[in-house]
Amino acid sequence: MKTKVLVTGAQGQLAQTLKELYVADDNIDFTFTSKSYLDITNSEEVNTFFIQNSFEFCINCAAYTNVEQAETTPEAAFLVNAEGVKNLANACKLNGVILIHISTDYVFDGKKQTPYTEEDHTHPINEYGKSKLKGEEYIRKILSRYFIIRTSWLYSKYGHNFLKFVMGKIQNQEQLKITTSQIGTPTSCNDLSEFIIQLIKQNISNYGIYHFSAMGETNWYQFALQICKHFNNYDCNNIVPVKTFLSKAIRPNYSILDNYKAKLLFKKDVYWQMSVDKVITDLSKK
């Protein structure tokens, strides 16, 4: 009997990665939905959809992720990242579904100098982070069976992300100015997908909040240089380090996540450089 899994946000990079890697899995029956098919901000629509289907898990990849725009129109971010999440949590509770929700390092203010644990005090400093934290709070209030996975600096070969942005600039022989002021860990959607699938397949019942990112730490400038190593016809000196950049949203200066809890379940050492290299190699094959 296959495990029935709903994946929201089908057009996003994480959902597309899950689809590529696991849609042919003999043990899981996936249903991928985009906003045009299932609008998570419509509670009635969500409830009807859950009643009509018998899911065991819901992986919520739907999110408002435009950090800059969220400063101007925070209501749009809160509608998806908070109210939409509340609708999913209520539907999961009514139908006995386990929710796997993707959250962010941006729930922290970045003032700490050691990796953030799941128990650390949250204090988001931009509207995007606040909306994601509100979604977490709804889940914790409504559900007892849930996994909130906080991750950082997600990238993949799909959609819009930093890796693909830098690759595009390099391929067009453009100069780049990249900040050095933020410390974090790039995380591949490939690795995060593997962790999520492991939660499902191993029937993990130790519910709660988990931090998941690759191993190691870097800044955006060094991340860009790691990408640049793959392009021999581009002078990496054209990538210029800068301390700050113009931004509406304040971003955490330090957002390393402590992965101790996740590593108890996911016994695999994944270093960010190796994962970046793999995604670039996969993109080069296209």
In percent, the amount of the chain with pLDDT more than 90 equals: 94
CB 98 within 8 A of CB 92: yes
pLDDT surpasses 80 at 245:
no
- Tell me whether residue 235 is in a domain: no
Region 188-216: what's the mean pLDDT?
Answer: 97
Q: What is the pLDDT of residue 244?
A: 81
**CA 204 → CA 2, 5, 18, 69, distances in Å?**
17, 15, 19, 37
Active site residue 128: yes
Burial per residue of 145-181, b for 16 or more beta-carbon CB atoms within 10 angstroms, e otherwise: ebbbbbbbbbbbbbbebbbbebbebbeeeeebebbee
pLDDT (average), residues 45-53: 97
**What is the residue whose two structure tokens read 């128990």?**
119
What is residue 267's predicted lDDT score, i.e. its pLDDT? 85
Give domain status of residue 167, yes or no: no
Establish if 19 belongs to a structural domain.
Answer: yes
Q: Is residue 282 part of a domain?
A: no
**Residue 27 lies inside a defined structural domain of this protein:** yes
Given a cut of 70, whether residue 54 has pLDDT beyond it is yes
Whether 42 maps to a domain, the answer reads: yes
Q: Pick the catalytic residue from 22, 64, 128, 234.
A: 128
Domain count within the chain: 1
Please write the tens of the pLDDT for every residue from 103-146. Answer: 999 999 999 999 999 999 999 999 999 999 999 999 999 999 99
pLDDT band, very low/low/confident/very high, at 269 (cuts 50, 70, 90):
confident
In a domain, 239, yes or no: no
Asked whether the predicted pLDDT for residue 85 surpasses 80, the reply is: yes
| Structural domain that includes position 101 | 3-160+187-215+256-271
- CATH code of residue 200: 3.40.50.720
Confidence of residue 286 (pLDDT cuts 50, 70, 90): low
268 pLDDT above the threshold of 90: no
pLDDT tens by residue, 141-182: 999 999 999 999 999 999 999 999 999 999 999 999 999 999
pLDDT in tens, 271-284: 999 999 999 999 98
Residue 226 included in any domain: no
In the chain, % of residues over pLDDT 70: 100
